[in-house]
Amino acid sequence: MTAFELTRLLPADHFAKALREDARRGLTAPAKWLPPKWFYDKRGSELFEDITKLPEYYPTRAERAILTERATEIAALTGARTLVELGSGSSEKTRLLLDALHGLGTLETYVPVDVSESALREAGRQLALDYPKLTVHGVVSDFTATLGLPRAVRGPKLVAFLGGTLGNLTPTERAAFLAALRAELAPGDSLLLGTDLVKDPAVLVAAYDDAAGVTAEFNKNLLNVLDRELDAGFDPEAFEHVALWDAEQEWIEMRLRSLREQQVAVPALELTVAFAEGEELRTEISAKFRREKVAAELAEADFELHEWWTDAEGRFGLSLAQPV
């Protein structure tokens, strides 16, 4: 039977406090914003799973294609005894790495890190059935605040940060995150990083504004989260979904645009938020990368890029780096 252990690094009131702080800061800013991590309540997570299957949304398929082709090579290059996944969710895509490392005979421990305890427990139960003798040590943590990797695990470690999630951070946040991650790693450890790549803006925008309207519903669901958790008075139908390409920053922005002048009460914050007609609330940035940019940001955090792979169409990049 697989050994399953769970460590909680977040206090019980962490999410309630963090949402209040983020909402107060973002909704009172001159240019309103909210961080994308609040998309992922139960309904938001279901909608995102639907998004990954849409014809316009290529990143999940492209990254899986790279992993399918390169997992055995990644296992051989890293020889990892411990696989750590940041933002693991259901751990579905990571099974390609688990299988490859298990086949190589080195893997001892899998450490999924996620904010969702329920997702970690569900994934852990299934892994217990599928990977006898594998130790699974789930960590409930917000990796943008603290990684908190278990100290008892044996190296070499392979840390996987997949899905292009790095692009949801601003350049300053990325630098801080990579530096904090570097501090957790030892010589011989490796980082496997997924990054969506710069391409035709029409392809990029379509991936965030699909014809079926699933991404629009996903974006507007953030307002449902505020209504439920903060007793707010947002009407999702009073906003429209916007996705645009910022060529200077080389990132996609998702926004919610107010369709009319309105006042929205947020009682939990003792706040009323005014929106002018056409005013926008930014809900996500999704930076796109070039190989040179990935290498430079890794180098700034004392990582060296050793391997770079893309899918056949050059849409998505997977890089393997090691601490210097």
Q: How many CB atoms lie under 10 A from the CB of residue 148?
A: 17
Q: 72-81, 122-131, 242-251: which range is least confident on average?
A: 122-131
Residues paired with residue 37 on neighbouring β-strands, in sequence order: none
Give pLDDT tens digits for 188-234.
Answer: 999 999 999 999 999 999 999 999 999 999 999 999 999 999 999 99
Cis peptide before 323 (omega within 30 of 0): no
**Mean pLDDT within 130-147:** 84
Taking CA atoms, 88 is separated from 8, 115, 121, 257, 320, in Å, by: 15, 9, 11, 31, 18
Asked if residue 154 has pLDDT above 60, the reply is yes
Output the pLDDT for position 1.
46
Angle at which helix 42-51 crosses helix 214-230, to 10 degrees, equals 170
- Segment 251-277 mean pLDDT: 98
- Over the chain, what is the mean pLDDT? 93
pTM, 2 dp: 0.93
Q: Considering only CA atoms, which of 163, 165, 161 is closest in space to residue 184?
A: 161
pLDDT of 2 higher than 70: no
Bridge partner list, 291: none
d(CA 99, CA 107): 9
- Alpha carbons 178 and 143: distance in angstroms, whole number: 11
Domain residue ranges of the chain, discontinuous segments joined by +: 56-199+288-323
How far is Cα 114 from Cα 117, in angstroms, rounded to an integer? 7
Which value, in Å, is the radius of gyration of the alpha carbons in the chain?
A: 20
pLDDT over 50 (residue 287): yes
Domain 56-199+288-323 is of which CATH architecture? 3-Layer(aba) Sandwich (3.40)
Q: What local confidence, expressed as pLDDT, does residue 143 receive?
A: 79
Distance CA 3, CA 200 (A): 46
Cα torsion at 37, 39, 41, 43 (round to 10°)? -160
Length of the chain as a residue count:
324
311 close to 288: Cβ distance less than 8 angstroms: no
Say how far apart CA 119 and CA 47 lie, in whole Å: 16
Cα–Cα distance for residue pair 151/294, rounded to 1 Å: 28
Per the listing, tokens 């003798």 go with 133
